[in-house]
Amino acid sequence: MVRRARENGPFALAGVFAAAFAVAIAHLVASLLHPQSSPILAVGSAVIDATPTPMKTWAIRQFGTNDKIVLIGSVLAGTLVLALVAGIIARRHLRVGLAITFLLVALAGAAALRRPTAEILDLVPAVTAALLGPLTLWWLVRALLASEGPAAASDAEPGSSRRGFLIGSGALLLGGAVAAGAGQWIYKVRSSLGNIRLPGAAKTLPPLPAGLETTIPGITPFVTPNARFYRVDTKLAVPIVDHSSWRLSIDGMVDNPFSITYDELRDMVFEESDITLTCVSNEVGGRYVGAARWLGVPLRRILDRAGVSPDADQLMSEDVEGFKIGTPMSALMDGRNAIVAIGMNGKVLPREHGFPARLVVPGLYGFVSATKWVTRLTATTYAKDTSYWTDRKWATDAPIKIAARIDTPRPLTNIDPGATAIGGVAWAQGTGIERVEVSIDGGRWQVAELGPDGGNDYWRQWFLRWDATKGNHRLAVRAIGKDGAEQTAVKASPFPDGSSGIQQVLVNVT
């Protein structure tokens, strides 16, 4: 067994080196074309689409915003394991080993072509890997076979072949690392937004006041910085959209279908809006919620220009890669400030959050409202068209549930006895927060102090002064809206229309 492992080890490495080199070069090529066509990302995207909803929910709960990194790592690890097997097989059956390597690449090419907006250019990275992977494996295996002596291959000296394998492997690893790094650098350069400026707003809001974070350590900032704003979507690589060629089309059940360019959108009348967004994957007490000041055009104005049919009950929004989200038309016509946003917290909308434009609809979870990189709006009906998430049995109408979260003290932490503060944020989009109440060790509900008011569509910070005594304590929080609605204690998982329940935090006062 040990001898066999020693004999097969170099061939296994040959398979891994060949695959890694081919994938790195393909990634570099993809960075110059379409990042999503990179073999690893293409396969990863296909895995996302094929993954059952319960498993997706579990992954988000376990790995949070690192779920994409874990997925890419898993796909890469699986690829290298199969490549390792291909290298071992190639020792005895070279053609079979090469065929396995080619099959891996073929699967990546097929995954790239499955994308709704796939182009023939998306095959180029896979074709590149299909040429380099088997060719590199062939060269390495031939070198190893020659190093085993005349019985294995009589056309080379054993010593020189072994040295050739070692030198070649080192060159492949170095070349692959350089190619992968160059691909990431090119992607970063292409992602730069340059000197795009935001238009002025016809309707401006006074600056948001300073939040409680200036006086209550550990509480979430009143305004979520762009770099810290949560991001949950199906994209393994952020789309690089050229705003000069981007267009927003409005069609379907409308009297006057039309499309506008980015510059034409910028010439429209803009408004500032303070809105909190929440992901339906957010667990009770979770972090998939953020608040920002958005700059955008009221969506109702665009829909009125198109003349939406009264029979349309759904607005299907589509991003630049064909991903579709369905929003209840009633929610867009009831007076709420739904917008097509191009600015976020005084800056151009970051690519990670939807540049050139995205939808922001207060009061609805993002999976039915917050389409990023939006390029098409189609007035339709639920009976006629289904979206990505409704195909996976998520709800079609998902109003955000009223909730409160404890930010400080953190769960299972040790704190000092004496005067301290329990604090966090609460949201009740559309109605606003009337009060927040805290219970300590199952005792009576105590009314917390509220932070500044950013409007009914914006969250509120809150805190309760607490004279902490030694021992273990259980803290609970609930929110009450201005309409009298009380946060429910009934527990529910995120699927299919958002989690619910009362957050409870255990802390130890030492």
Complete DSSP assignment for 188-239: HHHH--TT--PPPPSB--PPPPP-GGGTSTTPPPSS--GGGS----S-SS--
The residue with greater pLDDT, 247 or 54, is 247
113: alpha, beta or left? (left if phi > 0; alpha if psi -120 to 50) = alpha
Bigger pLDDT: 358 or 175? 358
pLDDT (0 to 100) of residue 156: 45
Average pLDDT, integer, range 262-268: 95
What is the CB neighbour count within 10 angstroms for residue 63?
13
Note the pLDDT of residue 4: 62
Contact (CB, 8 A) for 428 and 450: no
Contact assessment for residue 285 and residue 406, using Cβ atoms and an 8 Å cutoff: yes
Contact between 414 and 510 under an 8 Å Cβ cutoff? The reply is yes
Rg (CA), the chain: 27
The pLDDT confidence band at residue 118, using thresholds 50, 70 and 90, is confident
Q: Give the number of other CB atoms < 10 A from CB of residue 182.
A: 16
Mean pLDDT, residues 461-468 taken together: 97
3-state SS, residue 435? strand
Residue 23 is predicted with a pLDDT of: 86
Sign for the pseudo-dihedral over CA of 282, 287, 288, 293: positive
Residue 369 or 153, more confident: 369
CA dist 193 and 197 (Å) reads: 10
Q: Can you give the pLDDT at residue 479?
A: 98
Provide the percentage of residues in the chain whose pLDDT is more than 70: 94
Greatest alpha-carbon span in the chain: 87
- What the block records as the tokens of 236 is 């393994």
Residue 162 confidence (pLDDT) above 70? no
Mean pLDDT of 407-429: 96
- 332-358 pLDDT tens trace: 999 999 999 999 999 999 999 999 999
Q: What totals of helices (H) and strands (E) does the chain contain, helices first?
A: 10, 19
Question: If you search the block for the tokens 């955000």, which residue do you land on?
Answer: 400
Question: Averaged over 172-188, what is the pLDDT?
Answer: 84
Average of pLDDT values for 153-182?
70
User: Quick check: 452 and 211 in contact, CB under 8 A?
Assistant: yes
Distance from C-alpha of 50 to C-alpha of 114, rounded to nearest angstrom: 12
What are residue 414's phi and psi, to 5 degrees? -100, 130
Both tokens of 336, joined, read 């709420």
Task: Determine if the peptide bond prior to 217 is cis (ω within 30°).
Answer: no
Nearest C-alpha neighbor of 323 from the set 267, 258, 367, 271: 367
Q: What is the pLDDT of residue 343?
A: 97
Of 134, 156, 138, which Cα lies nearest the Cα of 147?
156
Note whether 144 and 91 are within 8 A (CB). yes
Q: Compute the half-sphere exposure of residue 29: CA atoms within 13 Å on the CB side of its CA.
A: 21
CA–CA separation, 141 and 92 (whole Å): 10
In three-state secondary structure terms, 161 is helix
Question: Above 90 in pLDDT, residue 180?
Answer: no
Mean pLDDT of 30-56: 79
- C-beta of residue 328 within 8 angstroms of C-beta of residue 314: yes
Rounded to an integer, the average pLDDT of 228-255 is 93
Report the distance separating Cα 215 and Cα 211, nearest Å: 8
For the cut 90, the answer to whether the pLDDT of residue 385 exceeds it is: yes
Strand segments, DSSP code E, in 331-447 are: 339-344, 347-348, 358-360, 374-380, 403-408, 414-415, 418-427, 433-440, 446-447
Q: Which residue type does 433 have?
A: I
- The whole-model pTM stands at 0.84
How many other CB atoms are there within 10 angstroms of residue 369's CB atom?
24
SS3 61: helix
Would you state the pLDDT for residue 262? 96
pLDDT top residue among 275 and 162: 275
Compute the mean pLDDT over every residue in the chain, rounded to the nearest whole number.
Answer: 89
Residue 172 pLDDT more than 90?
Answer: no
Q: Which residue type sits at 437?
A: E
Q: What is the C-alpha end-to-end distance of the chain, expressed in Å? A: 56
pLDDT at 155: 46
